[in-house]
A and B are shown apart, each in its own frame.
Chain A
Amino acid sequence: DTGVSQNPRHKITKRGQNVTFRCDPISEHNRLYWYRQTLGQGPEFLTYFQNEAQLEKSRLLSDRFSAERPKGSFSTLEIQRTEQGDSAMYLCASSRQGVNTEAFFGQGTRLTVV
């Protein structure tokens, strides 16, 4: 599968711990997005990158969340001091630059905070 790849697929962590997720986009895509999806809901936008520049962050992204894309290729999403409310599926997507280009999603990282 040469699509968007996310690791790990599942993560269980204790409240207060830090976690980091990785996303590898489709190689020729210079846009990368992070979304969060809770059970029974649609994905909610968190942040996006064009190459290595983080161009927009949602108000949903509290100070405990940070995302990076240092070389414009893979991206990491870190959550510090996790809370039970952070439990969700974290989806990454990538797309080519351009107007209204298709976004391809990864399979997500399911985070459970206990």
Chain B
Amino acid sequence: GENVEQHPSTLSVQEGDSAVIKCTYSDSASNYFPWYKQELGKRPQLIIDIRSNVGEKKDQRIAVTLNKTAKHFSLHITETQPEDSAVYFCAASRGAAGNKLTFGGGTRVLVKP
């Protein structure tokens, strides 16, 4: 089955700096890669996703890149703000398998004011 590795497990950045989180996956059939943000005590919420026919996607301060050959994808947050502090999870899915998600272990991001 699919295995998703996520690094780093914790990330501390100064407000205004950039944050980068990296994930690798094992199943070459995976074709959908969402990123979820989970604040303490709250539900995971989708912040951005990318499909395997696209190499990069951007939404305001958030961008995701995908390298299918190397089987890795990354989340980039620019101009970080204190409200970006949360746990971020990457995930992978094969669309034909009912869209079940395999998650990475999470990255706890702390943005220092």
Using a CB–CB distance below 8 Å, which chain A residues touch chain B? Answer: 3-4, 31, 33, 35, 40-45, 48, 50, 55-56, 91, 95, 99-108
Count of CB-CB pairs between chains A and B under 8 Å: 65
Please tell me the number of chain B residues within 8 Å of chain A, measured between CB atoms.
28
Enumerate 5 A-B pairs (CB-CB under 8 Å) in ascending A order.
Answer: A40-B106, A43-B101, A45-B100, A91-B43, A99-B99
Contacts of A108 in B (CB 8 A): 43
Using a CB–CB distance below 8 Å, which chain B residues touch chain A? Answer: 4, 6, 31-32, 34, 36, 42-46, 49, 51, 89, 91, 93, 95-106
Contacts of A48 in B (CB 8 A): 98, 100
Contacts of A100 in B (CB 8 A): 31-32, 49, 51, 93, 95, 99
Contacts of B49 in A (CB 8 A): 100, 102
* A91 engages B44 (CB within 8 Å): yes
Chain A: CB-nearest residue to B46: A102
Closest Cβ of chain A to B111, distance in Å, is: 20
Chain A: CB-nearest residue to B102: A45
- Complex: A105 Cα to B56 Cα, angstroms: 25
Question: Interface centre among B42, B91, B99, by most A CB within 10 Å?
Answer: B99
- Say whether, besides A40-B106, A42-B105, A100-B31, A31 and B99 are in contact (CB < 8 Å): yes
Contacts of B34 in A (CB 8 A): 102-103
Chain A: CB-nearest residue to B95: A99
Contact residue among A3, A4, A40, A56 (Cβ-Cβ distance under 8 Å from B98): A56
